[in-house]
Amino acid sequence: MTSILPAIADTTSLRCNMATTPIDATWWKHAVFYHIYPKSFQDSDGDGIGDIRGIIDRLDYLAELGIDAVWLSPVYRSPMADGGYDISDYRDIDPLFGSMDDFKELLEQAHDKGIRVMMDLVMNHTSDQHPWFVESRSSLDNPKRDWYIWHAGHKAPNNWRTNFLERAWQYDSVTKQYYYHSFFKEQPDLNWRNEDMKRAFFENIRFWLDMGIDGFRLDVINMIMKDSLLRSNPLLSRTKVYNRNQPETYDILKEFRLLLNEYPEKTSVGEIYVLPPGDPKLVASFLGSGDDMLHMVFDFSLLFCTWNARKYYHAIQSYYDALPSEGWPCFAFSNHDMGRSLNRFGRKHHANEKAKLLAVMLMTLKGTPFIYYGDEIGMTNVNIPRKQICDRYGKMFWPIYKGRDSGRTPMQWDAGLGGGFTAGEPWLPLNKDYQQVNVEDETADDNSVLNTYRQLITLRKEIPALRQGEIEFTRTGSKDILSYIRSIDDQQIQVVLNFSSCKCEFIGILPEGSQLIFSTHHKTVTNNEKIILQPFEASIWLIMK
């Protein structure tokens, strides 16, 4: 790699203790987020399952990488019918991950290192073991009966299906009625039309904000409101459906934002459930006017892109075009549900080169980047044998759909037994490549994917145009080349990405004296205004005026 920065950049000097930092309500716009699936990040006690103390043990790694904030998938108390997204107590930590004292220590130590902590927030449903639902199903006249969505009758009221196309109405033999569940039957949906439930839920949110967490990622937030008439969904429509995307959702989110605004430095990012190929306009609508609903929302169009520069351009530009004038974008290429990005592009063919190019794109687009744990070392999905699958969806639909475990495997820290993740038997098998693809080995390799991320994160922190600048695409029509300029005040940065396996020539606006400040390859040859890009090369230029 070519860079104006040292191969392993020291980002520690760029950080400071949050307790001594002036209030910055827009910190999330220039931050780098890191998504941790706690069960798979680091095991501290040898039981093969990642935990909160394991995350504490790896905070120095995150600080050295340059991470500003972490988002934790759920660590609340849960029966684990759906990996912790079935919550039985919103105010407690599940013993699988540790204790509340462990979590408070994580908050304290993370904040001391300048790292903020964002929790997952599931507003659509609870566990059927949550005390609210236990009361709700106990009798027809229980005060919490209407806290969930019930239907009286001898059959389900409509054709609604779960997200995996099963019947979504579950008959309850105790009260002889049906309740609605968007996911498993153990995850009954809350009734957000009930004011008492809403107040109680908002108090749960306030509980964590008062403790000092820095915000929330909101799970499937566009699904929390359902049609009050319980009308059946049209059979041939992707968008006109009655069990999600209801207008009243925006009212709930405005109230949610008012609560967050009482804590000036808190932030939020929403997951909007959409089917491929995505829907940027729907996604952007959950930002409201840009400051009255969510702070950020994920557009998963990029998670559905194939390896093609033109398709990435159209997905990115459509997202930008859909944003309100005050809206701020964010980007992720992988997550705990969709798996790892490299597997969409043929993981055995030029995996490292593609991982580095994606890193450059993620760190130089206008918007807040979210790194999924392990992507920074080039981890890929694991083909897990049927007998080792833990994800319930994988068990239900194997072999047509093998579930989500393949993208949730343990973090690969070193080449030793257990990959540095655990001293015991890991809850999911490690990738067979962990002895080559791991943090320890890649730290020592100047040209590794990990050191590419380290350099890019530092570059982003040092160059205002990459954090806050506007973006203008300069090459969009090619399936091979994507290029754009980031600019702020008198600073301009040109980014050029070659998606091709061949050398490509790029003719751009590069005045004399323009400086190459980063390349994923050892050198980039220029001839006047021509840039000769190596296969899969990504380069960043400081444009001189």
Instruction: Tell me the catalytic residues.
Output: 219, 271
| 349 Cβ neighbours under 8 A, 6+ residues apart | none
150: part of which helix (H) or strand (E)? strand 150-152
Amino acid of residue 51: D
Residue 119 has a CB neighbour count (10 Å cut-off) of 22
The residues with which 530 forms a beta bridge, in sequence order, are 507, 527
Q: What are 347's two structure tokens?
A: 């993981």
| 38 Cβ neighbours under 8 A, 6+ residues apart | 50, 51, 52, 54, 55, 72, 73, 75, 97
Q: Taking a C-beta distance cutoff of 8 angstroms, is the pair 105, 56 a contact? A: yes
Residue 155 has a CB neighbour count (10 Å cut-off) of 9
* DSSP tally for the chain: helices H, then strands E: 13, 22
296-298 vs 267-271, strand pairing mode:
parallel
The residues with which 2 forms a beta bridge, in sequence order, are 519
Please give the Cα distance from 363 to 367 (Å, whole number). Answer: 9
The residues with which 119 forms a beta bridge, in sequence order, are 72, 216
Please give the Cα distance from 158 to 535 (Å, whole number). Answer: 53
| 176 Cβ neighbours under 8 A, 6+ residues apart | none
Q: Taking a C-beta distance cutoff of 8 angstroms, is the pair 224, 255 a contact? A: no
Please report the beta strands in 290-389, taking only residues with DSSP state E, as ranges in sequence order. Answer: 296-298, 330-332, 368-372
Residue 431 DSSP label: P
Closest CA to 426 of 50, 35, 38: 50
76: part of which helix (H) or strand (E)? strand 76-77
The residues with which 89 forms a beta bridge, in sequence order, are 77
Report the SS3 class of residue 89: strand
Amino acid of residue 428: L
C-alpha of 263 from chain center: 23
Residue with tokens 């008492």: 196
Q: Taking a C-beta distance cutoff of 8 angstroms, is the pair 422, 430 a contact? A: no
